[in-house]
Amino acid sequence: MTSSVIFATGGTGGHIYPAIAVANAGRERGEQIIFLGQQGGMEENITRNAGFRFIGVPAGKWDRHKPNPLQAISATRGTLSAMKVVRRERPGLIMGFGGFASFPGCASATLLNIPLVLHDGNVFPGKVTRWFASRAWAVIGAQQESCGYLTKAKRFIHIPEPIREHRIPKNEARDKLGFPLSGILTLIMGGSQGSETLNRLVPEAYKKLHQNTSVLHITGAHLKHCLDSSTCNTYKTVPYADSSLAWSAADLGITRSGVSTLAEAAFHGVPLIMLPLPGSANNHQLLNARAVEKARAGMVLEDENASALAHNWEKALNPTALYEASKAAQSRSPAGASEQIWKVIDKARQDTPPMMHERLGIS
């Protein structure tokens, strides 16, 4: 019987949802997948709702603004707990998807000599990825530019960000969302929890537009109160919408620049106006957005004011510009990424050192 694979992840949707996408592909090929994350973290409900087994351990949290030495104690406790899990479950490989919640799993892999593969979606890799890169069998990066930040990695493999690969015909998606089949639809999405800034800024910019576009604005369940009211009935707001349905209906997006958002837009061939989240760790959202802009699949707007947004929105709505940017977005599509990642996992398992069994006490 094939040994299990432990996916260490958690903290934010940007770390959890790529792991879910890869796990779904693994389940289709009969893999046994266990998620290991923060006790009581958001990953617990998300992974269990997706039908996967979840084991929680203490993980601690590194706050770059307010460092707390006590978190090191929590991380140590989490690592010891994770080692007990690994000894009990006897996985053939551990895969870390970044975030503080993945630390115990990655640490237990190195301490018990279990093959470790890392995944990071950002141009500038996260702290846990950088810490363990030299000890991992390979680091999989969704952005080719990440290679320059991971010079100590044994192997760097570029594979686009894995996502849920589900498209709906545009006419069907528009009909379900209540939009006309003709005309341009702009999707406003502030990430998995919404964006207070976009909720306030975009309706104001919309009123300044001279070109026509319908708008689907996903506000986030807890941020609808931040939305400036719009007088136009072609501007629809919803607290939540299925992402595949929304992207399938859209022609243009105005978003933050988390890696999962960028990957979904590319999969659906939707160009973007990106307003990177100021103050994101290591300014990774700006770096992510610059990579998309370099590929001509979107434009970056760091100046968060309505007039600047309206000006760039007008430019993006130009039919020729929209067509060219859409083609560029399609060229960045992450289609097939999950299956490519499983090929890397297979290779890493084939290279498993015999010493692993001695460390685990497996005869």
pLDDT tens string for the chain (363 positions)?
468 999 999 988 889 999 999 999 999 999 999 999 999 999 999 999 999 999 999 886 665 556 666 767 778 899 999 999 999 999 999 999 999 999 999 999 999 999 999 999 999 999 999 999 999 999 999 999 999 999 999 999 999 999 999 999 999 999 999 999 999 999 999 865 567 889 989 999 999 998 899 999 998 765 555 555 555 678 999 888 899 999 999 999 999 999 999 999 999 999 999 999 887 777 889 999 999 999 999 999 998 899 999 999 999 999 999 999 999 999 999 999 999 999 999 999 998 764 444 444 443
**Are 238 and 177 members of one domain?**
yes
**Are 217 and 254 members of one domain?**
yes
**Are 9 and 150 members of one domain?**
yes
Query: Closest Cα partner for 219 from 199, 236, 234, 204?
Result: 199
Query: What is the pLDDT at residue 68?
Result: 66
* Alpha-carbon span 73 to 200, nearest angstrom: 41
Structure tokens at 118: 């890392």
How many residues can be counted in the chain?
363
**Are 45 and 137 members of one domain?**
yes
Q: Are 227 and 201 spatial neighbours (Cβ–Cβ below 8 Å)?
A: no
Q: Domain range for residue 230?
A: 170-330
**Are 339 and 218 members of one domain?**
no
Query: Closest Cα partner for 128 from 152, 146, 144, 104?
Result: 104
pTM score over 0.75: yes
CB atoms within 10 A of CB 248: 23
| Residue 313: CATH number of its domain | 3.40.50.2000
**Are 323 and 352 members of one domain?**
no
Name the 3-class secondary structure at 280.
Answer: coil
* Alpha-carbon span 220 to 189, nearest angstrom: 8
Query: What is the pLDDT at residue 362?
Result: 43
* Alpha-carbon span 271 to 251, nearest angstrom: 7
What CA dihedral angle connects 251, 257, 259 and 261, to 10 degrees?
Answer: -30
**Are 92 and 125 members of one domain?**
yes
**Are 293 and 340 members of one domain?**
no
* Alpha-carbon span 118 to 110, nearest angstrom: 12
**Are 124 and 58 members of one domain?**
yes
**Are 269 and 342 members of one domain?**
no
**Are 159 and 42 members of one domain?**
yes
Query: What is the pLDDT at residue 4?
Result: 96
**Are 200 and 114 members of one domain?**
no
CA distances to 6, 47, 78, 156 from 100, rounded to whole Å, are 16, 17, 11, 21
- Number of domains making up the chain: 2
Query: What is the pLDDT at residue 304?
Result: 85
Q: Are 159 and 242 spatial neighbours (Cβ–Cβ below 8 Å)?
A: no
